[in-house]
Structure formats: structure tokens, C-alpha cells
Amino acid sequence: MSSAATLTIAAAPDTPGVRVVILDCAHGRTEAAYANGTPPAAQLTDAAVVQAVIAKHYETEGCRCTLALRRRYGLVAVKR
């Protein structure tokens, strides 16, 4: 596996209306699945869920493999 993290965003194969976000790197894997309710319920975007997954991955794994994704999704690089 390369040193850069990979990001996959897709529909859940067996559950209509559910989206899956998967972040993979050599250090670990972080995933989230979500579904939006009917308005006026709050509507999540892929970008918002990706930001949460990147933050969780960084907190859990502590690796720097997500640097390009953090920049792409507008997250400030955290120094350790």
C-alpha cells in the first residue's frame, strides 16, 4: 500500500439510500456510513462526512498519510 491514504465514497451495496466513506492507508482503515433523513432533517454532504472520517483517522492512527486529503477537503494540517 502506498504512503498516501486512499478515499472511497460509494453507495452501500445492500442498503438503498446509505452512503459509505472509507479511508485506507498503510496504518489502518476508517469508515463511516450515513443516510440522510427527509427534509427538514439536517442533510449531510459527502464532504462533511469525509472531514469527520479524516479527523477520526488522524486521531486514531496518528499518521500523516491523509495530508493531501486534509488539504483537498479544507482541513488544517495538524502538527504533532
Average pLDDT over residues 38-44: 84
- Sheet bearing 6-11, strands edge to edge: 6-11, 19-25, 28-34
For the chain, the average pLDDT equals 88
Flag whether pLDDT at 38 surpasses 60.
yes
- Tens digits of per-residue pLDDT, 13-32? 999 999 999 999 999 999 99
Average pLDDT over residues 54-60: 93
What's the pTM? 0.83
Flag whether pLDDT at 1 surpasses 60.
no
